[in-house]
Chains A and B, each alone.
Chain A
Amino acid sequence: MTPMDDKVGVFICTGYGIAEALDVDALCKVATEELNVPFCKTVPSCEGSGLRTILEDIRDEGLNRVVIAGISPRRYEDIVFPPHVIVEKVALREHVVWCLPPGDEDTQMAAEDYLRMYITKVRKMQPLEPFHPEEPIDKTILVVGGGVAGMTAALEAARAGYQVRLVEKSDRLGGWLAKQHRSFPTRAPFRELEDTNVGELVAEVEAHANIRVHTSAQTSRIEGAPGLFDVTLASSGNGKPPEEALDQFRVGAIVQATGWRPKDPRPDLPYGGLPDVILNVDLEAMVKETGRITRPSDGKEARSVAFLQCGGFRRKEEHSFCSSICCMTTLKQAMYLREGNPQAKAFIFYEFMRTPGLYEEFYRKAQDDPGIFLTRGEVVDVAPSGNGRLTLTARDTMIGEEIGVEVDLVVLAAGMAPNAADGEAIRALEEAKVNLLAGDSEAKRQMAAETVERLKDHEGSQILNLVYRQGPDLPALEYGFPDSHFICFPYESRRTGIYPTGAAREPTDGMGSREDATGAALKAIQCVEMTSRGEAVHPRAGDRSYPDFFMQRCTKCKRCTEECPFGVLNEDTQGTPLLQATRCRRCGVCMGACPERIISFKDYSVEIVGSMIKAVNVPEEWDEKPRILVLACENDAFPALDLMGQNRLKGSPWVRVIPVRCLGSVNFVWITQAMSAGFDGVILLGCKYGDDYQCHFIKGSELASVREKNVREKLQQMAMDVERVELHQVQIDEYEKLPGIFQNFSELIEEIGFNPFKGM
């Protein structure tokens, strides 16, 4: 069962009311007599001196597989245990003693079952060996995009001692920053315009010994994985043909700083139709180039300028985002106008003036300027006055009346659209194009045609050109931003080692881009360092396990390659999964997906969890003691179970909880195994899914909900009631919901009867 040189030890804690609530001698006998554990000891506590005793015994007795039954695993400083020892902790206190009646037969049965489950688990687990690829990990950072975010990321990584390749598609560095006349304030007292200092920044980047700059270049192919990305550069079209490789090199991690482009203006405003209606970016370029503000129609000085904020752009009925920087940009441009000509007038039409935080100081400065007229109103019309000027009609929402203003120039605050491609959409488009030609039925070809039509805008939008089964770029969220979905973890992109930053990720200004890009550089550096140590990055940071595929039994069903939330697996032309281990986040979603059960981690596998399920002593039907298996996500649901105990809420003596890395890692063979073992039902507890998903592995809990439906079909085939499997979304602070979930499910079992296979 256990290799010869392994020695299992069990510690049972008698503190925390455990000895009062449970028959500890009987627990010890489960270990020593029933499961033949060679070393079992009671300790008065598993903290402080009690823990020191445990550590001494581990050393003195040469234990290397240890179960501590006492307080929750969340209460330990994991670093105290020697790294070569496998230690599992049973939350007897939180999950048994604190939420079940003391001295009760059923409470004792629960404690004994947990001991059986965890002793079985440590016997099955294997020591971890961190993953090290055959080739050395390259720590170079590739930065795509040479604007303020890209230059900052490159420089900050270089200053920390890393080699950097900076790729810019135009013929020079600088991006939008270089197109600006002045910057709005970035430091106290936040009232004065500042030099962009773009020249100094470009010079410093170009002069830095650790940075190689490639201008007029783009990434035509990026193959591989963190630490091992092979990059091919091609000309971006200024000179050499794009087919020809300019350079090929290896990098460890990637920062995508591809910036933004102006959004298309509101179609009913005469942008493009009237020459004196321009965008804010056009005005900026004009001032930068000429130092003056003039009318494009006749080159005469513009003495009155109307600035139309999102009111001029955003259509209320449309779902849209705020571009964040236009208010500050407009105030800045109004100041250009006023500085150029103290008699000039700026009319600003806005819905909300958005100058958050200390930017409010700049807004107050503009409010103090008698030549800047701020009107809260929606612009309804812009038309030529006949005298070469323009008449603008707006509905003033303060006084509720329409007002008209005659101006020389109208400036539309252009919104920011991200320069980012949606890798998953591109892949879906490519697949649909193949199906359109080769689909095996008319219905399929019809569906493909619809997909091609829906996604046609993604044609040729590739930027990174990743060689990934799941598409050539990062997947995008709403509005096309390849953003992280997490408030607490804003750098978590869905492709390991690739970090989007700056305005490509969310609408942001220069100061925000610099901070964001510095953070993205840190994450890229952290990724290559953790990868070189054979560790996973966030959210299982530091995990040294990795998935192992027993390829002889692979049926090339492609479920693992399809369902991996991080695009870890490529596949060959036959559909065989090709593991790119350094991309892996160790969530186990592939393990949950695999119908052949060939994917396992050394410390977490279908077999380990399956044996824990089978280790439970399921009573016979006439005992009238149902058994419910709870598979709980260890990120939120498992801590919620702790909190349930901590708050002394009433648990259920029928449940047996097994923590899982993610609900997506639940292989549904566990459910059939539980049914065969006589369990009466299974509850899956996972994170919230849907638009506001909270799953730390993106779509793990959602996948589980899809798979649950398949399981229900399977249950039907087994002539079982489909109600025997339930999935609940539980947030970490929703521990109060748990007793109700258990109670209702127990009542349901009572209603539909025990598992008919019990005892068979």
Chain B
Amino acid sequence: MTAAVEAAEVGFPVVLVEKEPYLGGRVMRSHKYFPKMCPPTCGFELNVRRIRQNPLITVHTLATVEEITTPGDRFRARVRKRPRYVTGEVSLDDALVEQVTSRRPDEFNMGVGSTKALFYPHPAAYPPLHVLDRDALSETDVATLLAKAPPGAIDLEMKEEEIEVDAGAVILATGWRPYDAGRLDNLGVGSCPNVVTNVMMERLAAPGGPTGGRIVRPSDGKAPGRVAFVQCAGSRDENHLPYCSAVCCMASLKQARYVREQNSGAKVTIFYIDVRTLGRLEDFYNDLRKDGEVSFIKGKVARITEDSSTHDLILEVEDTLAGDKPDAVFDMVVLATGVVPNTPDFKRPFDLRVDEYGFLESDTGVDGVYVAGCAKHPCDVSRTTKEATAAALKAIQRLRRG
């Protein structure tokens, strides 16, 4: 979004292709940003306003780039647009949505809970349209929609479309996904319900999330009194991700504050290798250290098991600092899972430089193709927006060269 609005405000036309039905990406699933503890919706709202009023920006959601060819000096993208089935001609009302009974996994809430097959992605969604998951829709629901939807509002016959986009430059901002926590079976993922990942924690804390913003244990819905954060869950680990995911330290410190703000009696323990709060973010760490209920313990968590009667969690910790004897039983554990790049997979007549982990290199090796954000390296929102702004200039240079 940043690359698109920054380039368009200079005066260049931009086509923005997004595979989800809405803009905003992963940050929209965060409850708050560090270090100001402000809602991502605030900046998102401003960027949406910039898009809504700028005739130079065209947005395609539910769209993926299938292939890029390079006729002459140009790039031509073949873009597949999946059907939304919701036309946007008329808004859908609640009464209709209520009658739909089919449900689907809620990927916006990181799989915590489910949504109806006809759903509004999130309160501030852009484009401001419902989404219909046709595959999840039962025959009964199909009949209901055909009978009761306002005329022209829903088109179940809507077909996939293919469009061509001609461009002078390409910016890849394909982002990241969380490391597959299923591989961390030693950390209780899958076997212990009260082990959650950091991305799930964001949804638990968000007012629009599955619990209405209450941080509770999945096993019994109770507010946890003892919460552990396990840093580098998969990151800085030769068996998983050898690199550092860069954002998890600040993310966990921020989530520690969520817990403490919701429950003044809660105790938080953070198990870390190094606390990486660079620059002025160090203030956030120093402030949190002043909270007597938050302890920092250097040590790698080797194993998490649970007490099957209470679902309380038992941690085995290696390499602890001398003198630190952690209280190793917790009500809830948050794993700081890392960042895995979404490497672009469209067909192309050129090679992109990609490192062994799938991150694109800064110099993509192709004149006219630029990269920004977590597709390039693990980084936070501020860094991503700077890189996106820089990528906009590189693209403009290429366009000006003609």
Residues of A within 8 A of B (CB): 15-17, 44-45, 47-50, 71, 74-79, 156, 159-161, 186-189, 319-324, 352-361, 364, 376, 397-400, 478-479, 481, 483, 485-491, 506-508, 511-512, 515-516, 518-519, 521-523, 525-526, 529-530, 533, 537-539, 541-542, 635-636, 639, 643, 646-648, 688, 692, 694, 696, 731-736
Chain A residues with CB below 8 A from B36, complex form: 485, 487, 692, 694
Q: Is the CB of A522 within 8 A of B393?
A: yes
Q: Contact at B88–A48, with CB atoms within 8 Å?
A: yes
Partner of A688, one of B38, B49, B243, B394: B38
Closest residue on chain B to residue A691 by CB atoms: B36
Residue pairs across A and B with Cβ atoms less than 8 A apart, 21 shown, are A44-B90, A79-B55, A187-B361, A319-B286, A322-B281, A352-B276, A354-B274, A357-B245, A487-B385, A488-B46, A522-B10, A526-B10, A538-B9, A542-B53, A635-B42, A639-B45, A639-B124, A643-B124, A646-B123, A731-B38, A732-B42
- Complex contact A15–B90 (CB within 8 A): yes
Does A522 contact B392, Cβ atoms closer than 8 Å? Answer: yes
B246→A733 contact, CB < 8 A: no
Q: Is the CB of B282 within 8 A of A541?
A: no
Task: Decide if B379 touches A357 in the complex (CB within 8 Å).
Answer: yes
- Complex contact B244–A45 (CB within 8 A): no
Contacts of A399 in B (CB 8 A): 322
Contacts of B71 in A (CB 8 A): none
Contact between A519 and B390 (Cβ–Cβ < 8 Å)?
yes
Give the chain A neighbours of B163 by CB distance below 8 A.
Answer: none
Q: Find chain A residues with CB under 8 A from B351 CB.
A: none
Cross-chain contact of B389 among A361, A522, A541, A733 (Cβ < 8 A) = A522
The answer to whether B89 and A519 have CB atoms under 8 Å apart is no
Interface residues of B in 40-69 (CB under 8 A from A): 40-50, 52-55
| B48 surroundings in chain A (CB, below 8 A) | 74
Select one of A49, A525, A643 contacting B89, CB under 8 A.
A49
Chain B proximity of A69: nearest CB distance (Å): 15
Contacts of B361 in A (CB 8 A): 187-188
B278 touches A519 (CB 8 A): no
Interchain CB contact under 8 A, A187 and B6 = no
Q: Are B377 and A322 in contact (CB under 8 A)?
A: no
Count how many pairs of residues, one from A and one from B, have CB atoms less than 8 Å apart in the complex: 243
Residues of A within 8 A of B379 (CB): 357
Q: Let me know if B11 is at the binding interface, CB within 8 A.
A: yes
- Known contacts A529-B11, A694-B38; 14 additional CB pairs below 8 A are A15-B90, A49-B152, A352-B275, A354-B278, A357-B379, A360-B236, A487-B36, A488-B46, A489-B46, A491-B386, A521-B393, A541-B50, A542-B54, A733-B123
Chain B, interface residues (CB within 8 Å), range? 35 or more
- What separation, in Å, do the CA atoms of A732 and B42 have in the docked complex? 6
Q: Which of B90, B207, B208, B321 contacts A398 (CB 8 A)?
A: B321
Question: In the bound complex, do residue B93 and residue A16 qualify as a contact, i.e. CB atoms below 8 Å apart?
Answer: yes
Residues of B within 8 A of A (CB): 5-6, 9-11, 33-50, 52-55, 87-91, 93-94, 123-124, 128, 150, 152, 206-208, 236, 242-246, 274-283, 286, 298, 321-323, 353, 355-356, 359, 361-363, 377-379, 381-383, 385-390, 392-394, 396-397, 400
A303 to chain B, nearest CB (A): 28
List, in ascending order, chain B residues with CB within 8 A of A648's CB: 94
The 3 lowest CB-CB distance pairs between A and B, nearest first, are: A488-B43, A48-B89, A519-B389
Are A481 and B91 in contact (CB-based, < 8 A)? Answer: no
| B50→A542 contact, CB < 8 A | yes
The residue of chain B having its C-beta at the shortest distance from the C-beta of A543 within the complex is B53
Q: For the complex, what is the distance from the CA of A397 to the CA of B299, rounded to whole Å?
A: 12
Establish whether residues B355 and A356, one from each chain, have CB atoms under 8 Å apart when the complex forms.
no
Q: Decide: A487 near B382, CB < 8 A? Known: A355-B244, A356-B278, A397-B321.
A: yes
CA distance in complex: A160, B397 (Å)? 4
In the complex, the answer to whether B386 meets A515 with C-beta atoms within 8 Å is yes
CB <8 Å contact, B397 and A357: no
Which residues of B are found within 8 Å of A523, using beta-carbon distances? 6, 389
Give bound CA distance, A735 to B393, whole Å: 37
B279, A324: Cβ atoms under 8 Å? yes
Report yes or no: A357 in contact with B377, Cβ–Cβ below 8 A.
Answer: yes
- In the complex, the answer to whether B124 meets A732 with C-beta atoms within 8 Å is yes
A79→B236 contact, CB < 8 A: no
Chain A residues positioned under 8 Å from B298 (CB to CB): 376, 397-398
Residues of chain B with a CB closer than 8 A to A525's CB: 10, 393, 396
Give the chain A neighbours of B9 by CB distance below 8 A: 526, 529-530, 537-538, 541-542
Closest residue of chain B to A52 (Cβ to Cβ) is: B89
Which residues of chain A are within 8 angstroms of B390 by Cβ–Cβ distance?
Answer: 156, 515-516, 518-519, 522
Known: A79-B52, A397-B322, A519-B389. A539 touches B46 (CB 8 A): yes
**Given the complex of chains A and B, what is the CA–CA distance between A156 and B392 in angstroms?**
11
Interface residue from A79, A160, A352, A731 paired with B53 (Cβ < 8 Å): A79
By a CB distance below 8 angstroms, the chain A residues around B46 are: 488-489, 539, 635, 696
* B37-A489 in contact (CB<8A): no
CB-CB under 8 A from A736, the residues of chain B are 207
Q: Is A356 a contact of B52 with CB atoms below 8 Å?
A: no
Residue among A15, A352, A359, A639 having the largest count of chain B Cβ atoms under 10 Å: A352
Q: Which residues on the A side are within 8 Å of B282 (C-beta)?
A: 320-322
Residues of B within 8 A of A186 (CB): 362
* Residue of B5, B41, B278, B377 contacting most chain A CB atoms (<10 Å): B278
Instruction: Report yes or no: A161 in contact with B400, Cβ–Cβ below 8 A.
Output: yes
User: Does B88 contact A479, Cβ atoms closer than 8 Å?
Assistant: no
Closest to A50 in B: B90
Given contacts A488-B381, A490-B386, A188 and B400 within 8 Å (CB-CB):
no
Task: Return the contact of B280 from the options A50, A506, A516 (Cβ within 8 A).
Answer: A506
Given contacts A541-B9, A731-B38, contact A636 B45 (CB under 8 A): yes
Closest B residue to A485 by CB, please name it.
Answer: B36
User: Are B93 and A17 closer than 8 Å at their CB atoms?
Assistant: yes
A396 nearest CB across to chain B (Å): 8
Minimum CB–CB distance from B343 to chain A (whole Å) comes to 13
What separation, in Å, do the CA atoms of A268 and B155 have in the docked complex? 75
* Cα–Cα, bound, A156→B391 (Å): 11
**A481, B88: Cβ atoms closer than 8 Å:** no
Q: Assess the B400–A357 pair: CB atoms within 8 A.
A: no
Please tell me if the beta carbons of B362 and A187 are within 8 angstroms of each other in the complex: yes
Q: Would A516 and B386 count as touching, CB distance under 8 A?
A: yes
A188 touching B90 in the complex, CB below 8 Å, given contacts A357-B245, A361-B242, A639-B124: no
Chain A residues, CB < 8 A from B37: 692
Contact of B152 among A48, A188, A508 (CB under 8 A): A48
Inter-subunit contact A187/B39 (CB<8 Å): no
